[in-house]
């Protein structure tokens, strides 16, 4: 991996704070990034890009080519959240977030699910997950039903037909499956579960299945399993400890990573990386949660998901020790936090303080 | 509703026991059906159809037209489970189960989720569902990504492309949405949630959204809400009590009804009806679980899901009192059962005994 082979000295960051609680949580993420790298001789320089609802409302622009080109010139991207009720559904998602993932070829959408000590799960964990929850979902990020290959005919009439095409290629599936195997191999349990629905989506499903079988030959020490997506959701509720690494398509990944976030203590803690492992374009780190306009600007948002995304960002840059320190600081903070309600910046301050 | 307007005196039943545990659980379902209708003057006559893995292995047949025609001549269908490891994935699903749902136009796939007293949920219910779990999913059954409109090109080469097309029509969406509204209106809370992903699947999603808005005008007393499918799965884990009736597409419905089954005590209790509300073809009732070949023939399968499917069958035939009696007998049995392990037939016997 290019990025990992040459740990950067300076960090040249593009920041897309976005809408709603995005700016607040990103502020805390940056605070922690500064604290984690302080004294290392690293200079963190960041450029802010004002993409999101405000820009669209003012100018009708989503992601201008010139901005995309500038963003491309950075080492890495930190994103808060995109979306606002003032903008019709789909405009910012299909205009900013998904174009970033697609243009920068973020084919590995990495989403860890870990239940930290002291964090409450909606599950009766003592019964259903006595050994804890600690798995990672490798969600494909550039294909599947997300390609935007849909249309409608006779729209708005009784004869309307709307289609959505899931497009899956051997090239696209193979590269993400290989990444998932490599990640499974690097973990103690070395276990990989493919999640799909090949009994119904036979063409896409069999492509995924064959690819896992074939790429698996390169990783003889990794054990593989298969679950239909519907059955996988049952196990996520009744026996999440069975999972180590999950690899799945873009839409199934979207769904199961939200369940994963829920059972691991909530969307306020769920981090993610949109990774281009080739290093040919910057990877992008973002909390899984959305812009939560209802609580924006009130200091109520939990910045932990963004802070854990910063840990993933550091890890991606090969700064493994700093990444581990941030995660440990978050773990300690969560263990102490209990039922206590703290402001967004208080949480950022507390985590940053543990790093100095 | 045709079926409900003219409660049948005799019941002319097609039985497709199927594979694995299918025959065992269907036996108990039939036992309970006999017990529930005994003394009512009703004659239950049933014809068994040997569709499934055995027939496919012996003859290569899945669902011959002649069998489909015969099945069509019945009032109602009881199905156990279809699927066996001896048959390649997709063959029986796309050859028997889905053709039945599509040919008989089962556009309402009805799946209640109710946590019965005494049943253990994997959720910490006292915290996340203090007022219980009692909702019903109306899953569209004849469109979406289930239409079988996929293909692959350059199969098995590095240049393979596989597509799956989700097909959605105003006709198909409107009829299931109207049914869902009617069902919501008949429930005390009168609340309907549309689950989709219209920020990404914009064409299909907006068709669903517009249809819910427009059909909603016919049901002014029903309150509506919308959740993206990923967010819906979070709420199913953290606050399932918020749901009353959910309406959703075929694939999203497949996924969320498995989560729903899990949180309501497991797939061993989850009943379903594949309903053609026009009465032009027989509706089909089946447990949500599969054929579970690993425990087949051992008397370990829980027939409760099938017995509750029989209750839905009776309800569909307008035999409301009998349906309620079967459900009450199951509820009483579950409340008494506790952690006790009983055989398949012991459970059927116990429920049937409560009905005489
Ligand atoms: C906002 C939306 C387009 C996005 C997705 O569906 O990928 C989000 O749900 C996520 O999981 O990052
Ligand atoms: C067996 C399979 C084709 C089926 C489906 O996907 O509908 C099952 O999962 C279900 O939910 O009834």
Q: Inform me whether the pLDDT recorded for B198 exceeds 60.
A: yes
User: CATH number of B1-107+281-356: 3.40.50.10420, 3.40.50.2300, 3.40.718.10, 1.10.3080.10?
Assistant: 3.40.718.10
If phi > 0 it is left, if psi is from -120 to 50 it is alpha, else beta; for residue A338 that is left
**Would you say the CATH fold of B121-264 matches that of B1-107+281-356?**
yes
Give me the active site residues of B, please. 146, 197, 230, 254, 258
Q: Which two tokens stand for residue B53?
A: 């893995």
Instruction: Name the CATH architecture for the domain at B121-264.
Output: 3-Layer(aba) Sandwich (3.40)
Give the mean pLDDT of chain B. 96
CA B301 vs CA B18, B113, B123, B277, B352: distances in Å: 14, 20, 23, 31, 17
First to last CA, chain A: 30
> What pLDDT was estimated at residue A338?
80
CB B41 within 8 A of CB B105: no
Q: Inform me whether the pLDDT recorded for A327 exceeds 80.
A: yes
> What pLDDT was estimated at residue A4?
45
Residues near A27 by beta carbon (within 8 Å), at least 6 away in sequence: A17, A303, A344, A345, A348
Residues near A186 by beta carbon (within 8 Å), at least 6 away in sequence: none
Give the position of tokens 């773990």: A331
CB A195 within 8 A of CB A163: no
> What pLDDT was estimated at residue B69?
98
User: Which ligand 1 atom is at minimum distance from the Cα of A94?
Assistant: 3
Q: Which two tokens stand for residue B90?
A: 């997709």
Q: Is B324 in the pocket of ligand 1 (CB under 6 A)?
A: no
> What pLDDT was estimated at residue B284?
98
From the list A244, A107, A245, the residue with the least C-alpha distance to A176 is A107
Please give the average per-residue pLDDT across B328-355, as a whole number.
95
| A3 confidence band (pLDDT: 50, 70, 90) | very low
| A5 confidence band (pLDDT: 50, 70, 90) | very low
Q: Inform me whether the pLDDT recorded for B5 exceeds 90.
A: no
> What pLDDT was estimated at residue A1?
36
Q: Is B165 in the pocket of ligand 1 (CB under 6 A)?
A: no
Give the 3-state secondary structure of residue A243.
Answer: coil
CA A69 vs CA A19, A102, A141, A152: distances in Å: 21, 14, 20, 32
Q: Is A96 in the pocket of ligand 1 (CB under 6 A)?
A: no
| Residue A101 is labelled as binding a ligand | yes
Q: Is A35 exposed, middle or buried (0-12, 13-18, 19+ CB in 10 A)?
A: buried
| A116 confidence band (pLDDT: 50, 70, 90) | very high
First to last CA, chain B: 30
Give the 3-state secondary structure of residue A144.
Answer: strand
Reported as a single tens digit per residue, the pLDDT across A193-252 is: 999 999 999 999 999 999 999 999 999 999 999 999 999 999 999 999 999 999 999 999
> What pLDDT was estimated at residue A123?
98
Question: HSE of B339 in the Cβ direction (CA atoms, 13 Å)?
Answer: 0
Measured between beta carbons, the chain B residues lying within 8 angstroms of A161 are: 167-170
CA A220 vs CA A24, A182, A191, A212, B198: distances in Å: 45, 11, 11, 12, 41
Measured between beta carbons, the chain A residues lying within 8 angstroms of B165 are: 163-166
**What is the C-alpha separation between A269 and A286, in angstroms, rounded?**
11
* A 222-241 → B contacts, CB under 8 A: 229-231, 233-234, 236-238
pTM: 0.96
> What pLDDT was estimated at residue B9?
82
Q: Tell me whether B130 touches chain A (CB under 8 Å).
A: no
Residues near B331 by beta carbon (within 8 Å), at least 6 away in sequence: B116, B117
Please give the average per-residue pLDDT across A48-72, as a whole number.
98
Determine the Cα angle at A112 with ends A111 and A114, to 5°.
Answer: 150
> What pLDDT was estimated at residue A337?
86
For chain A, domain boundaries: 1-107+267-356, 121-264
Give the mean pLDDT of chain A. 96
- The H-assigned helical ranges of A186-319 are 202-216, 229-238, 250-263, 304-316
Reported as a single tens digit per residue, the pLDDT across B132-158 is: 999 999 999 999 999 999 999 999 999
Question: How far is the centre of ligand 2, averaged over its atoms, from the C-alpha of B159 (Å)?
Answer: 30
**What is the C-alpha separation between B317 and B325, in angstroms, rounded?**
14
* A 47-106 → B contacts, CB under 8 A: 83, 89-90, 93-94, 98
CB B317 within 8 A of CB B7: yes
Q: Is A230 in the pocket of ligand 2 (CB under 6 A)?
A: yes
From the list A15, A18, A21, A30, the residue with the least C-alpha distance to A349 is A30
Please give the average per-residue pLDDT across A18-32, as a whole number.
98
**What is the C-alpha separation between B265 and A238, in angstroms, rounded?**
10
Q: Are strands A283-287 and B44-48 parallel, antiparallel or unpaired?
A: unpaired
**What is the C-alpha separation between A253 and A177, in angstroms, rounded?**
13
Q: Inform me whether the pLDDT recorded for B8 exceeds 90.
A: no
Q: Inform me whether the pLDDT recorded for B3 exceeds 70.
A: no
Reported as a single tens digit per residue, the pLDDT across B213-252 is: 999 999 999 999 999 999 999 999 999 999 999 999 999 9
Residue in A50, A54, A226, A258 annotated catalytic: A258
> What pLDDT was estimated at residue B2?
43
- B324: closest CA of chain A, how far (Å): 28
Q: Inform me whether the pLDDT recorded for B4 exceeds 50.
A: no
- The closest residue, in CA terms, to atom 3 on ligand 2 is B93
- Beta-strand ranges (E) seen in chain B are 11-18, 44-48, 76-81, 108-114, 134-140, 144-153, 161-169, 191-196, 223-228, 245-248, 271-275, 283-287
Which carries the bigger pLDDT value, residue B8 or residue B196? Answer: B196
Ligand nearest to the CA of B93: 2
Please give the average per-residue pLDDT across A106-131, as a whole number.
97
Reported as a single tens digit per residue, the pLDDT across A252-272 is: 999 999 999 999 999 999 999
> What pLDDT was estimated at residue A9?
82
> What pLDDT was estimated at residue B337?
86
Domain A1-107+267-356 falls in which CATH fold?
A: Isopropylmalate Dehydrogenase (3.40.718)
Question: How far is the centre of ligand 1, averaged over its atoms, from the C-alpha of A198 (Å)?
Answer: 23
Q: Inform me whether the pLDDT recorded for A6 exceeds 80.
A: no
Phi and psi at residue B333, to the nearest 5°: -65, -45
> What pLDDT was estimated at residue A339?
77
Q: Inform me whether the pLDDT recorded for A165 exceeds 80.
A: yes
| A58 confidence band (pLDDT: 50, 70, 90) | very high
Across the beta sheet with A134-140, the strand order is A44-48, A11-18, A76-81, A283-287, A271-275, A108-114, A134-140, A245-248, A191-196, A223-228
């Amino acid at each position: 991996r290019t990025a990992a082979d040459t740990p950067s000295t300076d960090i040249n960051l593009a920041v897309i704070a976005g809408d709603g609680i995005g700016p607040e949580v990103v502020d805390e993420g940056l605070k922690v990034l500064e604290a984690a790298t302080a004294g290392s001789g690293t200079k963190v320089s960041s450029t802010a890009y004002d993409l999101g609802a405000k820009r669209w409302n003012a100018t009708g622009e989503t992601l201008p080519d010139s901005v995309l080109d500038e963003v491309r010139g950075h080492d890495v991207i930190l994103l808060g959240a995109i979306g606002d009720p003032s903008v019709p559904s789909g405009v910012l998602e299909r205009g900013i977030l998904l174009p970033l993932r697609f243009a920068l070829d973020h084919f590995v959408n990495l989403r860890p699910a870990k239940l930290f000590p002291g964090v409450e799960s909606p599950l009766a964990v003592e019964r259903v997950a006595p050994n804890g929850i600690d798995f990672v979902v490798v969600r494909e990020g550039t294909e599947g039903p997300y390609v935007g290959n849909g249309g409608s005919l006779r729209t708005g009439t009784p004869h309307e037909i709307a289609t959505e095409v899931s497009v899956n290629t051997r090239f696209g599936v193979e590269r993400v499956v290989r990444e998932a195997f490599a990640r499974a191999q690097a973990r103690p349990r070395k276990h990989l579960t493919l999640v799909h629905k090949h009994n119904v989506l036979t063409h896409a499903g069999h492509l995924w299945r064959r690819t896992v079988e074939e790429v698996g030959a390169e990783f003889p020490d990794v054990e593989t399993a298969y679950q239909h997506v519907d059955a996988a959701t049952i196990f996520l509720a009744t026996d999440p400890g069975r999972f180590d690494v999950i690899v799945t398509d873009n839409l199934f990944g979207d769904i199961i990573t939200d369940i994963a976030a829920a059972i691991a203590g909530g969307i306020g803690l769920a981090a993610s990386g949109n990774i281009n492992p080739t290093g040919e374009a910057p990877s992008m780190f973002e909390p899984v949660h959305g812009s939560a306009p209802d609580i924006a600007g009130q200091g109520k948002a939990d910045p932990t998901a963004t802070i854990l995304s910063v840990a993933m960002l550091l890890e991606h840059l090969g700064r493994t020790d700093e990444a581990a320190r941030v995660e440990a600081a978050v773990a300690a903070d969560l263990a102490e936090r209990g039922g206590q309600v703290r402001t967004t910046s208080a949480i950022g301050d507390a985590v940053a303080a543990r790093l100095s």
